[in-house]
Structure 1
């Protein structure tokens, strides 16, 4: 896969993730009261509208500068990954997911100073679609990193 194709693919995926994330956040904000919780699967999955002033799990609440700097560093690192090596489908998808998720949460932090969260599993802190995309993207990058370098199919002529 060429760098140009990888970059374009990652940006298209990032835009799709960003649009879905922002759309779901606006839907929740427009149809629920802050703190309201709607059971989708009682005791397992609830739609709960909260505002999170911190990062993952609410850490660094009130530290907007650190969170913005961390987001900028993460975006720069992901772009470097796309431009530095030979891109694969896994790294392209992983980078696109991370970029879209990071952009979704970053826009919330810049415009509102906090992030809208709504997915409530009752055994985990409440999160959103951007968080899911970031976690999936990191998982794909880890899998790509663990994959052997020569992931091409072995030649039929290989000697025993």
Structure 2
């Protein structure tokens, strides 16, 4: 295989991506088709966490909402291009933390891309909030693919800002 498409840690990153996408899709399937979240409305899980059903026609945090077919295909094309670039980066990964982080980002992107391809929108369902009396602040509604993407970005930032500054390198 071409060295820019497969490196020593690509298999590890690929396994992480598959696991992240599978967990994301399984959670969405369960909440939509087994638990039937859309018919239940808002479900309290904890004093700061609810499950809600949201069709996200945009990208992360509901930005760039695109309900038309052309817009949805454009968002899917952007996601495919991003995954391809991340894959090339993964093939060049020099340590397991980078491969793990990139695998999480790719897996999250794939999980949401599957939704967009099948449904024309992404299923979001996790709502964190803070409330006191009549005051309430809702965070964005998101899904486990978004969690994987954020965790991957945090891993890359950790590696770039903290780990590299300490001079520690893992083979």
- Matched with 2:29 is 26
Shift of 1:105: 0.1
Contact 2:10–2:99 (CA under 8 A) maintained in structure 1: yes
- For residues 60-107 of structure 1, what are the alpha-carbon distances to aligned partners after superposition, in whole Å with 9 as ceiling and x for unaligned? 1113133113212221221121223x5211110001101110000001
TM-score by length of 2: 0.79
Q: Give the secondary-structure state (helix, strand or coil) at the position aligned to 2:21.
A: helix
Distance of 1:152 and 1:98 partners within structure 2: 22
Q: Decide whether aligned partners of structure 1 residues 5 and 83 sit closer, same or farther in structure 2, where only a CA change above 3 A counts.
A: closer
TM-score by length of 1: 0.85
Distance of 2:62 and 2:10 partners within structure 1: 32
Q: Decide whether aligned partners of structure 1 residues 93 and 33 sit closer, same or farther in structure 2, where only a CA change above 3 A counts.
A: closer
Distance of 2:89 and 2:141 partners within structure 1: 29
- Matched with 2:148 is 133
- Matched with 1:50 is 54
- Matched with 2:42 is 37
Where does the alignment leave 5 or more consecutive residues of structure 2 unmatched?
A: 1-5, 130-137
Where does the alignment leave 5 or more consecutive residues of structure 1 unmatched?
A: 154-160
TM alignment of 1:106-121, pairs within 5 A? 106-121=113-128
| 4+ long deviations beyond 4 Å | none
- Partner residue of 1:77 out of 85, 92, 101: 85
Are positions 1:87 and 2:91 aligned together?
Answer: no
- Matched with 2:63 is 59
Are positions 1:151 and 2:168 aligned together?
Answer: yes
Q: Give the secondary-structure state (helix, strand or coil) at the position aligned to 1:60.
A: coil
Q: Give the secondary-structure state (helix, strand or coil) at the position aligned to 1:54.
A: coil
